[in-house]
Amino acid sequence: MLRSTLLKLADNKNLARWVTSNASTRQMSHRFVAGETLDEAIAATRACNDAGLLVTLDCLGENVCTAADAQKARDIYIQMYERIAKEKLNANVSCKLTQLGLDVSVEFCEGLVLSIAERAANYDSFLRIDMEGSLYTQRTVDLVKRVRSQTPCVGTVIQAYLYRSERDIQDLLAYGCRIRLCKGAYKEPPDVAFPRKSDVDANYTKLMRLLLSSGFYHAIATHDPRMIAATIRYAAENKISKDDLEFQMLYGIRSDLQRMLVRDGYRVRIYVPFGMEWFPYFMRRLAERPANIGFFIRNFFHS
């Protein structure tokens, strides 16, 4: 119930305006967001690299409704690759299609994604297309396949809570696509997504096995120690090397687990988000763990 309310509020533009312009809440967002500028994100990336963690950088923003805003987002993504290369950081980039104009037109969005992917290829890097709400799933899968046929350094994300995900994985694997597996962070109706956490977890394990057995390099994105243990166990049983997969976690969440996996010789990549449009991302993080709300309320009244 609380999760559902928080996810609904994530789309409230008036609340977003108030929260992102308030000094106390801006300060609190730093728990999950590296900062509002690329410089701050680069500093956070360096700190991660120094701790043995890889990074994927994301400039926050979604559902832009003008071509000009999408172009602006595209320019920032190009700049990100340039800074990563110039500063010799071990990082790649993640983006959202609705930030690159998917709601404006699929063709327009595809052109922008292709230009970013070409820049990624020039730098021998990688572009991950995040997965958004289920209204966008088919368009995302189709666009990723088309862009990959021209520039293969592109991968995407599959959400274990969707009933359709096994089919999408089979479809994408036929194109050699690298996949990040996550549980899924949006508000979805019961006719498209498993309502029960136990079913999402069971599907996560099933899909993880499918990915690890595919022979391609995938990312297991979760903070759930049970999913991580199941992955490690399955990899060991099937002689899949630590270099053939990576774990991924979000900036500011379970740093202890991140460090433990690095110490045990696993690759761990941290999703480092930055930018002014942090409100929906922030709300999704609260929804994942409502206990976070108490922490934020206490900080708000003490600041």
Residues that bind ligand FAD (CB under 6 A): 130-131, 157, 159, 182-186, 221-224, 248-250, 253-254, 271, 285, 288-289, 292
CB of 139 to ligand FAD, least distance (A): 14
Q: How many residues does the chain have?
A: 303
Q: Which of 58, 130, 168, 201 is an active site residue?
A: 130
- Take residue 82 and report the two structure tokens written for it: 């340039």
DSSP per position, 61-122: -----SHHHHHHHHHHHHHHHHHHHHTT-SEEEEE-GGGGTTTT-HHHHHHHHHHHHHHHHH
User: How, if at all, do strands 91-95 and 154-159 pair?
Assistant: unpaired
For residue 58, list its beta bridge partners.
Answer: 273
CB of 197 to ligand FAD, least distance (A): 7
Quote the DSSP letter at residue 297. H
CB of 126 to ligand FAD, least distance (A): 14
CB of 153 to ligand FAD, least distance (A): 18
Greatest alpha-carbon pair distance for the chain in Å reads 54
67 or 296: CB nearest ligand FAD: 296
CB of 149 to ligand FAD, least distance (A): 22
Instruction: Say whether 263 sits in a helix, a strand or coil.
Output: helix
d(CA 215, CA 236): 15
Our answer to whether residue 124 is catalytic in this structure is no
81 or 251: CB nearest ligand FAD: 251
Q: Which of 74, 180, 267, 284 is an active site residue?
A: 180
Our answer to whether residue 180 is catalytic in this structure is yes
84 or 283: CB nearest ligand FAD: 283
By the 8 A CB rule, do 90 and 55 touch? yes
65 or 293: CB nearest ligand FAD: 293
112 or 250: CB nearest ligand FAD: 250
Residues marked active site are found at 130, 180
